[in-house]
Structure 1
């Protein structure tokens, strides 16, 4: 539209060509109205079909045809602007639509050779008309070149953004497939381990009732410790089966943010027994949520990673940031290599050795992403690493708690 207005003004006032300004201005106003409608439609529904693009280009061809009809028809040097719609159609549309545009623009060209409003050229002699025509062709060339660069560059940028989005979706799909495979493997292992654990439990119960073993306090203490460890293994297997959806009659228990993190940290300390933990739960006001077993286990993996990297101290902070709950886990270990910071949440990225390493943050990132949250990692200025988990409260919310 800006190009049309500029061209009309140059032809009218710089080249001295008399043009039907009111009629041509009405066409430009129609295009303004069409663009306003398009922007409103995009605001309501961002997705655009190729059929819509095709009809938009036909409307542009119609507007250009009217403008050329009012300004000399096929003799107007701007007749070559029809190629702009054809080129855009070839880039954006299917083959049939592009050839339809070729046929329509060709028909319009033929129509304008016979029907048009003759241009009022200042001096009607051949040489002057040719000079004006060449000047018009130059303006048309510059305008078409600018528009083509503008539109094609935008189209290429959109295509690159689309390809980047598709690559990200493919990567996410591959990662989720890996999570599914790991879940099936864990579920199968849990089923397989259930039988030998039950056998060990039965044998320990038999030993506990044997008189010759009951007479030895040290052996009785060892048997009780072994029974406790077997019970803990059964609880872990139950959690694995529950997280894979195989436990029946169990659902996410209602709790609050404060109780969820307090219980998780207390349980982790009891099992892991780290020498020094700095825990601060600053979340306020409290909020009712559903206790998610998978999320809890994923967060415990982060605590384990911090304890592995920094056996003598782990810092845990829970706070509220508007509508998000934030967990920050700090350690005083060697920190993350710079190459790892750029790929946090990708599988098998770790500073540890051994099978299964590098899956803790990957599993956490997948669980948190499904809940609409995010995971970020950095190296602390005073040494060590820091992992921040941000989760929207609404995704785990049960009902608000009235505080005060």
Structure 2
């Protein structure tokens, strides 16, 4: 299935579907995408995911501290201040509950919020170390976990601020802490401390690998989303430029087409021409071709929003399919297109000119490689109208399927080709839908357009 490049732009008619754009907005391809007011940016979503990871790490710390205190106090018999240490654990639990409630009503998570969360974790760790031996406690290595997380999550200034807090806490612990007294039967204190250091190192390494890996995954997802937004902005820039060129060309063509129409009308009234049967047939064919050109020019202007009310009108799903099929058959082939309406209930929708042009584009692509059979299947999937166009051509090359909907992806080998499906993708996306393509098992290809009924409805609720 190959692609052609008709003129498709945004529609600005009185019957424009709900959810469609009414104007073209130029977005420079190199600019950062700007989120509308009230929406979250990729950075906001990433920081929210990272804050959730800090909360999960805090739950891990709560469980780990409970297990460690129980082991040291009950198994080794070391006299620990269980009540104050339990109060610190309860403080971490309360902090986590408050953080979850705060995130539910917080629109965006900032770098400052992450810094405060990490500082509170450092304070809790310092309190527990103060109550259990200070810097001699082998779990002081967990400070490195906080510093590493800060280096990954925070900006440079905040990272150094966290380092300063950790360094201050360690210096304070060297001067003030409650000693950890081990019972005599526990063995050599040095061996116990070495074993504790090994355990602390292992715990530190595992937590670093688990949480830093997940943080990096969040960052990769953010970068991929930003790349997608930049690609979308570049595609919108292509759309705007082509729309402007098409609109300008339509205006320029309007005058000579009108002149040709006047001349043909004059010739129609000349006996020398009308009495000649062959010339009369030629004149009729010229008038038909002229009307076709004028219809194309009008369609371009309607799509660009310069001929309000001429391009869209209320209809139903069945009427829309019948009118679309009849118009395509009259212009291309009477026997090629087979329409199957499996939609079910005939719902009222808007006959949108840009959507019709997009479907024509896919049908034209199929017709170029499958002259004798094309199927247009209409189905309903939930609250979506699904249009599937199948052909019996050679199918899509694998590299084109991987780059579906991107500009200049064509198997025709023409310079500047490959804009047809790119335009279709953008039209469908502006209506809130999606486009996919696949090669059929035996022969041919299928392009599927999924369109939300809510954007095509006329005051209807399809919930």
Equivalent in 79, 82, 87 of residue 143 of structure 2: 82
2:50 maps to what in 1?
A: none
1:36 maps to what in 2?
A: 97
Equivalent pair of 2:343/2:380 in contact (CA under 8 Å): yes
Equivalent in 396, 403, 409 of residue 336 of structure 1: 396
Distance 2:404 2:303 in 1: 23
Distance 1:140 1:338 in 2: 51
Equivalent in 285, 303, 311 of residue 225 of structure 1: 285
More displaced 10-residue stretch of structure 1: 170-179 or 385-394: 170-179
Q: Are the structure 2 counterparts of residues 384 and 65 from structure 1 closer, same or farther at C-alpha, using a change threshold of 3 Å?
A: same
Per-residue CA shift, 1:64-102, capped at 9, x if unaligned?
121112212233222232222222212221222222222
Per-residue CA shift, 1:159-184, capped at 9, x if unaligned?
21111111111212112211212111
1:25 maps to what in 2?
A: 86
Normalising by structure 1, report the TM-score. 0.92
More displaced 10-residue stretch of structure 1: 76-85 or 56-65: 76-85
Equivalent in 363, 366, 380 of residue 426 of structure 2: 366
Distance 1:249 1:307 in 2: 30
Structure 1 residue 141 and structure 2 residue 201: aligned? yes
Larger Rg: 1
Cα offset, 1:365, TM superposition: 1.0
Cα offset, 1:243, TM superposition: 0.9
2:121 maps to what in 1?
A: 60
Cα offset, 1:8, TM superposition: 2.4
Cα offset, 1:22, TM superposition: 3.4
Equivalent pair of 1:274/1:312 in contact (CA under 8 Å): no
Structure 1 residue 245 and structure 2 residue 305: aligned? yes
Report which structure shows greater RCO (CA 8 Å, sep ≥6).
2
Distance 1:99 1:245 in 2: 55
Q: SS in structure 2 opposite 1:23?
A: helix
Q: SS in structure 1 opposite 2:442?
A: coil
Distance 1:4 1:193 in 2: 79
Per-residue CA shift, 1:206-245, capped at 9, x if unaligned?
1111121122133223212212221221111111111112
Structure 1 residue 98 and structure 2 residue 164: aligned? no
Q: Are the structure 2 counterparts of residues 62 and 392 from structure 1 closer, same or farther at C-alpha, using a change threshold of 3 Å?
A: same
Give the gaps of 5 or more residues in structure 1: none
Give the gaps of 5 or more residues in structure 2: 1-60
Q: Are the structure 2 counterparts of residues 401 and 46 from structure 1 closer, same or farther at C-alpha, using a change threshold of 3 Å?
A: closer
What does 1:106-145 correspond to in 2, within 5 Å? 106-123=167-184, 128-145=188-205
Distance 2:107 2:203 in 1: 29
1:4 maps to what in 2?
A: 65
